Structure 1
Amino acid sequence: MLSTLRFRLLLAMAAIITLALIANAAVSYFTIQRHNDQQVARNLTAEAQGNGLAIGEWVGARAMMLEALAPAAHSDDPMTALQQLEASGGFIATYMAYPQDGSAVFSDGWTPPSDYDPRQRTWYQQAVEAESTVVTEPYADADTGGLVVTIAAPFYRNDRLVAVAGGDIGIEAIVDIAGSIAPTPESFAFLVTADGTLVAHPDPEMTLEPASRLTADFDAGYFSAPIGVGEPERLALGGRDKWLRSVPISGTDWQLVVALDEREATAGLRAVLGSSALTLVLVVLGAVLVLGALLTLMFRRLQVVRDAMIDIASGDGDLTLRLPEVGRDEVAQIASAFNRFVSRIESVLITIREASESVTVAAGEIATGGQDLSRRTENAASSLQQSSASIEEITSTVEHTADSARHASELSQSASEVATRGGEVVGQVVSTMEEITASSERIGNIVKVMDGIAFQTNLLALNASVEAARAGEQGRGFAVVAGEVRQLATRSAEASREIRGLIDASGQKVASGTELVRRAGATMEELVAGVNRVAKVLGEISVAAGEQSDGIGQVNVAVAELDRMTQQNAALVEESTVAAEQLKEQADRLAEAVGGFKLGERAVVPA
C-alpha cells in the first residue's frame, strides 16, 4: 500500500494537516497557557493580598485599640480603660506596666507574685526596643490551650518611657481566615513568621511547628522577604507541585503564604489540550476520508492508464497497443507521451529485427566460410608440418651422409697412410725374410755340424762300450756312462735330423713367404694409389654433401617460417570462426529478444 502514489499523497496531505493543526494547537496552547499563568498569578496575588489585608486590618485594629490607652498611661487609674479595651477588643486580658518600679495593673484583677517583673517579659522588651506597637510570637495559652499573641505598645512623655500597655488576644480568627483560604480543593494557605514558625495551617498539628516540616526548601532565611512577588514560585508540597505567593502582614513579621495547586490551576489548559487533541483526530480523520474520496476520483483515469501500461508490460511485448488520449490533463499528456515513446520503440525494434536477421544470415555465412577456411588451413598446416618433418629427416640424412663422407674421407686418408706404412713394412718384411733365409742356411750348417758331432759321439760311446765290455767288472760303470752318452748322442742325432727337417721346411716356407711378401708389397702400392683416389673422391663428396646440407638447412628455415605463418593464419582463422560463431549467437539472441515483442510491419513515429 505504501508503494501507491495515492496512498503517499493521502499520507502526505494528512501529515501536513496534522502538522498544521498541531502547530495551531501549540500556538493556541502556549497563548492560553501564558494568559492562564498571568491570570493565575493575578488571582493568587489578589487572594493573598486580600486575605493578608484582612489579617493585617484585624491586627491593626487591635493595635490601634491598644494605642488608644495613651491617656490611661498618663493617669493614675488605668483600670477602667483597660477593662473597656478588653471588652471592646476581645482581649483575654489587658495590662499596663511601668518602667519606674516594675509594677503592673491587670484588667482582670490578677495580682502578680512578688518576683514578677514585667520589664523582663518579651512583650515589654520588644515594645521598648521597637519604640512602637509590636505583636509577639504566638504561644499556647496556659489556661485555655488556645493560640495567643500579645500586642504591646510603649507610651512616652517628653521622649521618656512612662508605661507599656499590653493585651493578650486569641488569634483563632486569624487561624480561621488562613484556614478558609482554598482557591482550589488541593490549595491552602498558611501563616508563618520571619523565622519560619507556622502560626496558622490547615492542619492544627502543624501550629507552632517549623515550616521546614512542609519541605526542606523552607530553611531559616526563606521567609526573610516575600516570595513569589514577580512570578509565583513553584515548589512541591505534600507530593504535589504548588505555586506559592506570600504577602507580609502589616504590623508583624508574619507572611501569609497561599499555596495554589498547579495541577488544579492548569486543569483548564489540560481540558483545552484534550479538546484540541480530540479535534485534531476528528479533523484528520475527516480530512483523510474526504481526501481519500477526492484522490480516488482524481486518480481513476490515472489508474486506467496504469492498468493499460501494466497490460502492455505484462503481456507478450505487444507494442501495437496504445493508451487512450482523452482530455487535456496531465494523464492525457502522459498517455500521449507514452504512445509516442512506444511508437518510437516499435520503429527501433523493427529496424533491429531486420538488422538482426541480416546479421544472422551474414554471421552464418561468415561462420561457414570461416569453418571451411579453418579446415583448409588446418589441412595445409598439417601437410606443411609433414613436409617440414620430411625435410628435417632429409636434412638429418644429408647431414649424416656428409658426416659419413667426411668420416670415410678421413678413414681413407688414414687407410692411405696405413697402406703406405704397410708397404714400407712389407719391404722391411721382405728384407727380414731374406735375412731369415740366410740365417736358416747358417742354422742348417750348424745343425750339420751338430749332426757330425752326434755321430762322432755315438762312435765314441760305442767304442767306450766295447772297451767297457772288455774291461769286465771294472768297466761296468764306464759302460753305463757310455750307454747314456750313446743314448744322448742318438737323441742329439734325432733332434738334429728333426731340426734339419724343420729348417728345410722353414726355408721353403720362408722362400714362399718372401715371394708372397714381394707380391703383397706390389699390391700394397696399388692399394695406396687406389686409397688416395678414393680419398680424393670422398673429399669431393663431403664438400658436395656440406653444400647440400646448407641448402636444405635454408629450405628448412623457410619451411619453418612458412609453418609458423600458417599456424598463425590458422589461429587467426580459428579466432575469426569463433568471433563469427559468437556474432551469430548474439544475432540469434538479439533476434530472440526482439521476437519477444509483437511488432507491426513498419511503425510510423508520430511527429
Structure 2
Amino acid sequence: MFQSLRARLIGICIAITTLSLIALALATFFVVRGNTLSGLDERIGQITRVYAGELAEWVKEKQRITTSLKTAVGQAEPVPFLLAAKQAGAFDDAYFVQADKRNVFAHPMPEGYDGTARPWYKQAVQAGGPALTPAYVDASTGKLTISFVEPVGPAGQPIAVVGTDMHLDTVTNKVNSIHPMGKSFAFLLDGQSNLLAHPRADLALKPVTAIAATLDGALLTRLANEGGRADVSIDGTAQMLYAAKVEGTPWVLAVAIDRAEATQPVRDLLQVAIAITVLCVIAAVGLVTFAVSRQLRRLSVVRDALEDIASGEGDLTRRLATHGSDELTQIARAFNHFVDKIAAVLVRIRESSESVRLASSEIASGNQDLSGRTEQQASSLEQTAAAMEQLTATVQQNAENARQANHLTANASQIAAHGGTVMG
C-alpha cells in the first residue's frame, strides 16, 4: 500500500494532520474542562454561600422576632404578643418561661409543666444571649423541633427565657428548595455533624456518614472554611460537594452537584471536537491526495519518459518543461541534460559505426584478394605435391632395385667364395 512515494507522502501528511487535530482537540478539551470546572466551582461555591447567607438571614429574622417577645414578659395580657410573634415568624409556638417556673404559651400546656428543666431553657441561661437549640423531639407535638431562645434579665440570673419553636419540616422544606442544577440537592448539618435537613426525611438527625461513608463533619467544615469542592460518591453517583457555614449558627449547608450533569457541556464539546476532527481528517485525505498527486504529476512524466527511453524506442528529441525552481523542475532539467548527453553519444556512435563500416568494406575487399592468391598458391602446392608423390615413387622403385642388386651381388659373392674354396 505504501510502496510508492505518492502513497507514503499522502500517508505521512494525513498522519501528521490527524495527530495535530487530535492534539488540538485534546488540548482544547482539557483546557475547557479545567476552565469549566473552575468556573463551576466558583459559581456553585458562590451559590452555596448565598443560600447559606439566606439561611443565616432567616435565622436572624426568627431570632429578632423571638427577641421582641421580651416585651411580653411582665405584661398583664402577654398572649396577644405571643400570637402576633407566632404569626409574624410562622412559628409553631411562642412562649416564655419565668425563673419561678411560671410560663405563658400561645397554646395551653399540661398542668405542672416545668419549663426551667428543659434543655432549651438551660441553654439560653448558659448562653446569656440569643441561642439556637439543637433539634429535639417536642414534648407537645412529638415532632422534631428547633427553638430560638433568649434570656430576659441579668446574665446568669435571668427572670425569664423567651422562645419560639419551629418544626424541622420547615427547615427541611427550605433546604430542599435549593437546586442550583436539575439533579442537585442540598442538606444541612448541625453542630454535631448530624443531618438536620435532607431530601430523604428518614435521615433526619442521623450522622452524615449515612449519606456516604467517605463523608464526615471535618471534611464539610474544611470545605466551609476554605472553600473548594470534594468529589464523593453518593448512592453510586459521582457528586461534587460544596459547603458553606451558616453564620450565627453551628449549621453547615452542603450542596451536592451531579458530576455527569455538571460536566455535560464538556462531554458535548468533546463529541463535537471528535466529529470535527473526523470531518477534518476526511477533508485532509481528499485535499492531501489531490495536492500531492498534482505536485507529483511531473514526476510521473519524468518516469514515463525514462521508461520510454529504456524500452529502446524512445524519442530522444523529447524534452520536459522546466518552469519553476522546485526539485521536480531540477529533475526535469537533469533529465533534459541526460537526454542531450545520450543523443550526443548516439551521434558519435553513428559516426563511428560509419567509419567501421567503411573499414570493414576495405578489409573485406583485401580478404577477397588474399583469398584469390591463396587459392592460386594452393593449386601450385597441389601440383608440387603430385610431383613429389611421383618422385617419391621413383625413389622407392630405385631403392627396391638397389636392394635386389645388392642381393644378387651378395649371392654372386657367396658363389665366388664357394668356387674359390672348391678350387683351392
C-alpha contact 1:305 1:323 (8 A) present in aligned 2: no
TM-score, length basis structure 2? 0.71
Task: Summarize the alignment of residues 160-309 of structure 1 with structure 2, pairs less than 5 Å apart.
Answer: 160-227=157-224, 229-309=226-306
Distance 1:129 1:310, change over 3 A: farther
Q: Where does 1:373-522 land on structure 2 (aligned, <5 Å)?
A: none
Structure 1: which amino acid aligns with 2:172? V
Distance 1:143 1:157 in 2: 29
* Partner AA of 2:15 in structure 1: A
Q: After TM superposition, give the deviation of residue 216 of structure 1 in Å.
A: 1.5
C-alpha distance in structure 2 between counterparts of 1:302 and 1:64, whole Å: 92
- Write the mapping of 1:276-355 to structure 2, written as runs, cut at 5 A: 276-309=273-306, 324-329=319-324, 330-338=327-335
* Higher alpha-carbon deviation: 35-44 or 76-85: 76-85
Corresponding letter in the other structure for 2:110: T
Q: Which string of whole-angstrom CA distances, capped at 9 and with x for unpartnered residues, describes residues 195-245 of structure 1?
A: 221111112222222210111122353344543843222222222222211
Distance 1:217 1:211 in 2: 9
Maintained 8 Å contact 1:60/1:250? no
Alignment correspondent of 1:73: 73
1:229–1:246 Cα contact (<8 Å) kept: no
* Cα drift, residue 264 of structure 1: 1.0
| Structure 1 residue 141, shift from structure 2 partner | 4.4
Q: Which amino acid aligns with 1:107?
A: A
SS of equivalent residue, structure 1 residue 47: helix
Q: Structure 1 CA distance, aligned partners of 2:121 and 2:142?
A: 22
CA-CA distance at 1:58 after TM superposition: 2.3
Paired position in structure 2 for 1:105: 104
Structure with the larger helix share: 1
- What is the CA-CA distance between 1:81 and the residue it aligns to? 2.6
Specify the alignment match of 2:7 in structure 1.
7
DSSP 3-state at the match of 1:151: strand
**Normalising to structure 1: TM-score of the pair?**
0.51
- Compute the displacement of 1:64 (Å): 0.8
Highest CA radius of gyration, 1 or 2? 1
SS in 2 for 1:181: coil
Secondary structure of the corresponding residue to residue 227 of structure 1: helix
Name the SS of the counterpart of 1:221 in structure 2: helix
Q: In the TM superposition, what whole-angstrom CA distance separates every residue of 1:501-559 from its partner, at most 9, and x where no partner exists?
A: xxxxxxxxxxxxxxxxxxxxxxxxxxxxxxxxxxxxxxxxxxxxxxxxxxxxxxxxxxx
Name the amino acid aligned to 1:131. G
Amino acid at match of 1:170: H
| Residues 196 and 205 in structure 2, CA contact (< 8 A), matched pair in contact too | yes
2:50 aligned with 1:50? yes
- Unpaired runs of 5+ residues, structure 2, are 350-424
Shift of 1:68: 0.9
Identity across the alignment (%): 31
- The 3-state SS of whatever aligns with 2:108 is coil
Contact 1:194 1:223 in 2 (8 A): no
Give the C-alpha shift of residue 94 in structure 1: 2.2
Aligned ranges 1:86-125 → 2 under 5 Å = 86-99=86-99, 101-113=100-112, 116-125=113-122
Structure 1 distance, partners of 2:59, 2:74, is: 24
Task: Quickly say closer, same or farther: Cα 1:221–1:118, change in 2 above 3 A.
Answer: farther
Identify the residue that residue 383 of structure 2 maps to in structure 1: none
Letter in 2 for 1:110: M
**Structure 2 counterpart SS, 1:252:** coil
Deviation readout 1:280-318 (Å, 9 max, x if unpaired): 1112211221221122222122122234445667x68x9
Which whole-Å CA distance do the structure 2 matches of 1:171 and 1:158 have between them? 29
User: How many pairs does the alignment contain?
Assistant: 346
Q: Which moved more, 1:232-241 or 1:261-270?
A: 232-241
Match in the other structure for 1:564 = none
Query: Hey, what's the Cα distance between the residues in 2 that align with 1:144 and 1:163?
Result: 23
Letter in 1 for 2:13: M
Structure 1 pair 144–159 and aligned structure 2 pair: CA distance change class (3 A): closer
Change (3 A) 1:341 1:139: farther
Amino acid at match of 1:326: A
Relative to structure 1, the CA distance from residue 199 to residue 310 in structure 2 (aligned partners, 3 Å threshold; closer, same or farther) is: farther
Provide closer, same or farther for how the CA distance between residues 75 and 12 of structure 1 changes in structure 2, counting only shifts above 3 A: same
Look up the SS of the partner of 1:199 in the other structure. strand
- Deviation string for 1:351-379 (max 9, x for gaps)? 9xxxxxxxxxxxxxxxxxxxxxxxxxxxx
What RMSD, in angstroms, separates the aligned Cα atoms of the two structures? 3.3
Q: Is the 8 A contact 1:196 1:218 kept in 2?
A: no
Structure 1 gaps of 5+ residues are 352-607
For 2:245 and 2:328, locate their aligned partners in 1 and report how far apart those are by CA, in whole Å: 78
1: CA distance, partners of 2:67 / 2:225:
33
Give 1:250 shift.
3.0
- The equivalent of 2:21 in structure 1 is 21
